[in-house]
Amino acid sequence: MWKAVILIGGPDKGTRFRPLSLDVPKPIFPVAGIPMIQHHIEACSKVPEIKEVNLIGFFHYTEMLKSFITMAKQKYSLSIKYLSEYGPLGTAGGLYHFRDQILSGTPEAFFVFNSDVCCNFPLSDILHFHQSKNGDNRITIVATEATHSESMSYGCLVEDENTNEATHYVEKPETFVSSLINCGVYVFTPDVLRCYMAEVFRQHQEESLEMGMGDSNFPDAIKLETEILAGYAGSGKMFVYKTKEIWGQIKSAASAIHANKLYLSVYRRTKPEVLAKKNPDGPIIRGDVFIHESASVDPTAVLGPNVTLGENVEIGAGVRVSNSIVLSGAKLNDHCCVLNTIIGWKCKVGEWSRVEGTAQQPDPNAPYSKIISGQLFNEDGRLIPSITVLGREVDVAPEIIILNSIVLPNKNIHANSKNQIIL
Ligand code: GDD
Ligand code: GTP
């Protein structure tokens, strides 16, 4: 039997995702029509060996999280639990803290996922790869190629290609180490928790007592990347599974739009029936478009490529939407145009208005390039042109232009804006 753990973080994470993460915990923000971590759970449900998924984080266990878990349990017939950390215990502190729950029922091994990655999760292959290696205390780490410059924003790995052993690991190095990066998907054999992490935890306790930090807020916090993986590299017990499949991080609105595109391309290959079909009676569909069954779209609208319309979205006559996510309950009135934007829940965009952002794409001339989610502002304190985001229940009047802007929830917009944060 196998298990899975998804590290969902907590409310102080996902800052680059504001204002969208003010309304929903980032891990359940919808990408390609379903919450971000539902993609992880769906992948787990396809692997017969995986019987249980634990979400570890420090969000309050709100109605929203509760109803997501209830829905996912029913839909995927998996045991799914939320294990709540008392504070940010880091990427490995929660694993150690909840070791008894994770190891109950004596799983052979368990997957660990970062919640904010988009991937088509070849879990059966990874499982067989992990089983093919020897050793009680082993870790498999899923990796992909990045460009030289972008690699330094991730965990970097050096691999012995003959044995697949990870010989070196550096988290977000300052100078180039390797173009092979950590995808935030791992497999652990139980003894890693029982032995190696237990030892790291014990050292922490000693250090904090010696340094008089016994009262510090989170003495149990452990960083997986720097305290476990870096130490494990070169031990002959950490193996690299390389994937050439789609992969990306979801840190900012721009990377969510890109992840939406990647997931829609996976749907095109694996379940094309969920994508909108071209139909002579309209609407006009360009490329990959996902329309929730409850959405209503005027036949004269033009949608795509890379568009997702959520539950109960209404799209009027002559509306154009491209490279955008429109969240549930939003209404795009006749002849408005929405490009490179995330339209928040229950927003309204008036007739003939134009809401437009600047798309961010991986560098098309650099193989393996990914979107880097940098800061929102440049050195002069100006907003860097990017995807436009309308927070929940924003109401845009007719004939307004909003360009490269971030609009906080519940605003009524009656004036044009460009490169602004509307507070
Ligand atoms: N439960 C819990 N508790 N989860 C946490 C905590 C915590 O205290 N801190 C972070 N996480 C979760 C986040 O929600 C996210 O899913 C994951 O752990 C990693 O988050 P970050 O700590 O923000 O790291 P990162 O995304 O910048 O980098 C990590 O992911 C990259 C791939 O996307 C590293 O693992 C890199 O090495 C890796 O390349
Ligand atoms: P580039 O700027 O060179 O990328 O041109 P483009 O037309 O390919 O891209 P743009 O992002 O400007 O527009 C994307 C799609 O939206 C195109 O199919 C346009 O025809 C359409 N479009 C752009 N502006 C409007 C508008 O104001 N109304 C409507 N209905 N469609 C528009």
DSSP state of 192: I
Ligand nearest to the CA of 229: 1
CA 378 to chain centre: 24
Q: Which residues contact 275 (CB under 8 A, 6 or more apart)?
A: 264, 267, 268, 288, 289, 290
Is any ligand 2 atom within 6 A of the Cβ of residue 39? Answer: no
- pTM for the full model? 0.92
Please state, as a whole number, how many other Cβ atoms lie within 10 Å of the Cβ of residue 301. 22
* Interval 102-128: pLDDT, tens: 999 999 999 999 999 999 999 999 999
The best mutation among 307, 320, 338, 358 to test binding of ligand 2, ranked by most ligand atoms within 8 Å of the C-beta, falls on 320
Question: Is 155 a pocket residue for ligand 1 (Cβ < 6 Å)?
Answer: yes
For ligand 2, what atom is nearest to the CA of residue 356?
11
Query: Which one of the ligands is nearest to 6 CA?
Result: 1
Q: Is 54 in the pocket of ligand 1 (CB under 6 A)?
A: no
Instruction: Please give the structure tokens belonging to residue 25.
Output: 């915990």
Give me ligand 2 centre to Cα 336, in Å: 12
Q: Is the CB of 91 under 6 A from ligand 1?
A: yes
Q: Is 339 in the pocket of ligand 2 (CB under 6 A)?
A: yes
Measured by CA distance, the residue closest to atom 11 of ligand 1 is 9
Nearest CA to ligand 1 atom 7: 90
* Amino acid letter, residue 226: T
Residue 221 Cα: closest atom of ligand 1: 8
The torsion angles phi and psi of 322, rounded to 5 degrees, stand at: -140, 145
Collapse the DSSP code of 387 into the 3-class scheme (helix H, G, I; strand E, B; otherwise coil) and give the result: coil
Report which ligand 1 atom has the smallest distance to the Cα of 172: 37
Distances 391 to 57, 347, 375 between C-alpha atoms, Å: 24, 8, 19
* Helix segments in 13-79, DSSP class H: 20-23, 36-45, 63-76
CA of 97 to the centre of ligand 1 (A): 17
Whether residue 327 has its Cβ less than 6 Å from ligand 2:
no
Q: Cα separations (Å) of 26 from 8, 20, 29?
A: 8, 8, 5
By C-alpha distance, which of 344, 353, 361 is closest to 411?
A: 344
Q: Which residue has the tokens 């017990």?
A: 237
Structure confidence at residue 420 (pLDDT): 92
- Would you list the DSSP string of 201-268? HHHHHHHHHHTT-TTSS-TT---IIIIIIHHHTTTT-EEEEE--S-EEE--SHHHHHHHHHHHHHHHH
Task: Give the pLDDT confidence score for residue 189 in this predicted structure.
Answer: 97
Ligand 1 pocket, residue 154 CB under 6 Å? yes
CA–centroid distance, 2 to ligand 1, in Å, is 22
User: Which amino acid residue places its CA nearest to atom 23 of ligand 1?
Assistant: 13
Q: Cis omega (within 30 of 0) on the bond before 398?
A: no
* Ligand 1 geometric centre to CA of 269 (Å): 29
268 within 8 A of 274, measured Cβ to Cβ: no
Between the CA of residue 203 and those of 63, 90, 222, 226, what are the distances in Å?
38, 16, 11, 14
Cβ atoms of 229 and 169 closer than 8 Å: yes
Q: Is the CB of 354 under 6 A from ligand 2?
A: yes
Question: Of the ligands numbered here, which is closest to the C-alpha atom of 86?
Answer: 1
pLDDT at residue 215, as a whole number = 47
403 CA distance to ligand 2 centroid (A)? 14
Q: How far is the CA of 341 from the centre of ligand 2 (A)?
A: 13
- Region of 209 please: left (phi>0), alpha (psi -120 to 50) or beta: alpha
Q: For residue 291, what pLDDT is reported?
A: 98
Give per-10-residue mean pLDDT for the chain (423 aa): 97 80 92 98 98 97 96 97 95 95 97 97 98 93 96 96 97 96 98 91 83 64 94 95 95 94 97 94 95 98 98 98 98 98 98 96 87 79 89 98 96 96 90
pLDDT single digits (tens) 48-105: 999 999 999 999 999 999 999 999 999 999 999 999 999 999 999 999 999 999 999 9
